[in-house]
Amino acid sequence: MRYVPSRSSLLMAPALAWLAALMVVPCALVLALAFFRRGIYGGIDYTFTLENFGQVFDPLYAGIFLNSARIAGTATLIAVVIGYAAAYAIAAAPRRWQPVFLFFAVLPFWSNYLIRTYAWIVLLNREGLITQLLRWVGYTGEPPSMLYTEGAVIAGLVYNYLPFVILACYAPLSRLNPELAEASRDLGASAMTTFRRVILPLTVPGIAAGAVFVFVLSIGNFVTPALLGGGRFQMIGNLVYDQFLTANDWPFGAALAMALIAIMLLVLMAQAIAANRASGRIAEAEGNANG
């Protein structure tokens, strides 16, 4: 009775058609674009070439890829450390407070990304709040240059994506059967050993999910490097933007976008494999809690 293929297809048809026309086809188009030559006047010359992909590995652009990966990686590491600590503290709070803390941890995530990034300009610029605070405690020298540095880009990325890491790490922490930690203590382990050998391994999937999210969104980011890096710290996202809107080299821009998608798929696949491996033991850790 529930399985009515024709009716279900009918219900899904409009949405799937929309996705096909406005996501699948355009993305396929970009993929195809990447195999064409750039036209003399910025248009597209429809002759097949692999040059664009070759250009991706040009030292200049490969350097930007590595730079993006380094910035995204650093932001991911910092966000995971802070986010995990916060999630742990929330999971350890009294039960009725946990949803409240969680709600307020995630709330900033839902305000406009541009505005959250802009807030850091206000904090970090030469006459910004941090400089004012330094003056206030008696600092008289040159205002420190904090804006338009790699540090500012990383701070912006961490700030923007931290709530998601908290959410991702909280899920397995809150579902962990507290008796597992007690069992470890009972068997003679210290609090530190219990964390290292029981709690941490069982919450790795949450860390992985959070890390993948931060990394994928950071490496393809275009707004944060543009605003907080002042254009000096180019990342892949800015490069793609430039090819489409400034340099007018769409085929190369398309090849860069495909490289970005490839990196993203690799990271997601690695996470899926890790999650698959861990899923059994996690189900067990949670199932135990129902005993």
Partner 1 sequence: MAERSPATRRMLWLVLSLVFAFLYIPIAVLVALSFNEGGLPTAWSGFSLKWYVSLAGNSAILSAALNTLIVALVSTAIATLLGTLLAIGVEMRRQYGKGLEALIFAPMIIPDIVLAIALLSFFSMLNLTMGLHTIILAHVVFNLAFVCSVVRARLKSFDWSIVEASTDLGASAITTFRRITLPVIAPAVIAGALLAFTLSVDEFIIAFFTAGAGRASTTLPMQIYAMIRFGITPEINALATIVMAVSVTALTLSQRLNRGITGQ
Partner 2 sequence: MSEPRTLLAIDRVSKNFGRVTAVDGISLDIRENEFFALLGPSGCGKTTLLRMLAGFETPSDGRILLDGKDIARMPPNKRPVNLMFQSYALFPHMSVRANVSYGLEMERLPAKEIRARVDAILATTELVPFADRKPEQLSGGQKQRVALARALVKRPRLLLLDEPLGALDKKLRGAMQLELKRLQHEVGITFVIVTHDQEESLVMADRMAVLKDGKLLQCDTPHAVYEHPAERFVADFIGVMNFIPGKVSADGVVAANGARIAGKVPAALSSGAAAVASVRPERVRLFPSADTANRTTGTVEVLAYQGLDLQLHVRTPLSPKPFLVRVTADAADRRPVASGDQVELGWDAADVRIFAE
SS3 of 143, please?
coil
* Site membership for partner 1, residue 16 (CB under 8 A): yes
* Site membership for partner 1, residue 111 (CB under 8 A): yes
Pick between residue 5 and residue 280 the one whose CB is nearest to partner 2: 280
Alpha helices in 93-149 (DSSP H): 98-106, 113-124, 129-136
What, of partner 1, partner 2, none, does residue 273 touch, CB below 5 to 8 Å by kind? none
Report DSSP state, residue 43.
S
Pick between residue 66 and residue 262 the one whose CB is nearest to partner 1: 262
What, of partner 1, partner 2, none, does residue 101 touch, CB below 5 to 8 Å by kind? partner 1
What, of partner 1, partner 2, none, does residue 190 touch, CB below 5 to 8 Å by kind? partner 2
**Is-contact 265 259, C-beta < 8 A?**
no
Within 177-196, which residues bind partner 1 (CB under 8 A)?
178, 181-182, 185, 191
The continuous run of DSSP H or E covering 44 comes out as strand 44-48
Q: Single out the residue of 57, 198, 223, 249 in contact with partner 1 (rule: CB under 8 A).
A: 223
Tokens of 117: 């990034």
- Stretch binding partner 1 (CB under 8 A), from 46-54, 61-69, 249-257, 280-288: 249-257
Pick between residue 178 and residue 201 the one whose CB is nearest to partner 1: 178
Contacting residues toward partner 2, per CB under 8 A: 177, 179-180, 182-190, 193, 197-198, 201-202, 278, 280-285, 288-291
Pick between residue 6 and residue 40 the one whose CB is nearest to partner 1: 6
Within 125-154, which residues bind partner 1 (CB under 8 A)?
125, 127-129, 132
Distance, CA of 209 to CA of 268 (rounded, Å): 9
Distance, CA of 158 to CA of 155 (rounded, Å): 5
Pick between residue 191 and residue 265 the one whose CB is nearest to partner 2: 191
The pair phi, psi for residue 36, each rounded to 5°, is: -105, 170
Total residues at interface with partner 1 (CB under 8 A): 88
> Position of tokens 């009918």?
10
Burial of 248 (0-12, 13-18, 19+ CB in 10 A): middle
CA–chain centroid gap for 211, Å, is 7
